[in-house]
Structure 1
Amino acid sequence: MPYVMRNADGDICGLFEQPQEGFAEELLAADDAAVIDFLNKPLPVAAVSARQFKLQLLAAGLLDSVDAWVAQQPRDVQIAYEYSGIFVRNSPMMETGFSAMGFTPQQIDGFFVAAAQL
């Protein structure tokens, strides 16, 4: 039976064989649905190729909106968007762009997971 650590939203964020000092845990059965869901959750994707990123923008119907947004940004952002070989999930420019498009952190993760499959 694993010890379960949850985040502020109540989602499982870690499984441990022993209690972890300084954290509130609960003990759940290994076959508990929440434990199984946590173990089957796709790992976060830290970066994707430019091809994957832009094809996912196209698939999501966002390519034209993002192109228009980038065209109004400072020159360094335009150059990075046009010439980067990879797009890194947690880069400041990426965070700014996704925020401007109204994405939540969970939606950004989902976008990168989908893009990584292309």
Structure 2
Amino acid sequence: MPYVSRSAGGAIDGLYEQLQGGVAEEFLPDDDPELGTFRDTSPEVFSVSARQFRLMLRRTGLLDQVKAWVAQQDGETQDAFEYSGTFVKNSPMMTAGFKAMGFTAQQIDEFFTAASQL
């Protein structure tokens, strides 16, 4: 099933069709010199299941460090970490947590992409 990728401003910046293994086929716009071709690209991952997120924390050796950070946060953050079914990359809790861990934007993207494959 095709899906549209949009920039932060809402402009369409890509049209994709999901393929097996999390790879997407990108269809190029009519004015593109490579018309009729496509390039393989991995779609950006915006969220992962709680299971995927926690497994990735464990595999990267960060689970205990993250649990310690969460224990120092307010009750809502603690509840969100403990009971959420999905972890959304750009949520305030994720932003604060990754900042506290010293992650760059690229490292966050890589973390979510890897977690999405578990």
Structure 1, unpaired ranges of 5+: 1-12, 19-26, 31-35
The one-character-per-residue Cα deviations of 1:63-112 (angstroms, maximum 9, x if unpaired) are 01000010011111001000001101111111111111111111111111
Give the one of 13, 30, 33 matched to 1:17: 30
Match of 1:47 in 2: 47
Match of 1:10 in 2: none
AA aligned opposite 1:51? R
Show the 5 A alignment for 1:75-86: 75-86=75-86
Show the 5 A alignment for 1:78-97: 78-97=78-97
Q: Return the index of the structure with the highest Cα Rg.
A: 1
Structure 2, unpaired ranges of 5+: 1-12, 15-27
Match of 2:61 in 1: 61
Could you tell me the TM-score, scaled by structure 1's length? 0.68
- Name the CA shift for 1:76/1:41 in 2 (closer, same or farther; >3 Å): same
Task: Report the 3-state secondary structure (helix = DSSP H, G, I; strand = E; otherwise coil) of the residue aligned with 2:48.
Answer: strand
The one-character-per-residue Cα deviations of 1:8-48 (angstroms, maximum 9, x if unpaired) are xxxxx866432xxxxxxxx8768xxxxx8xx3331111111
Match of 1:98 in 2: 98
Q: Which has the higher contact order (CA 8 A, sep 6+)?
A: 1
Could you tell me the TM-score, scaled by structure 2's length? 0.68
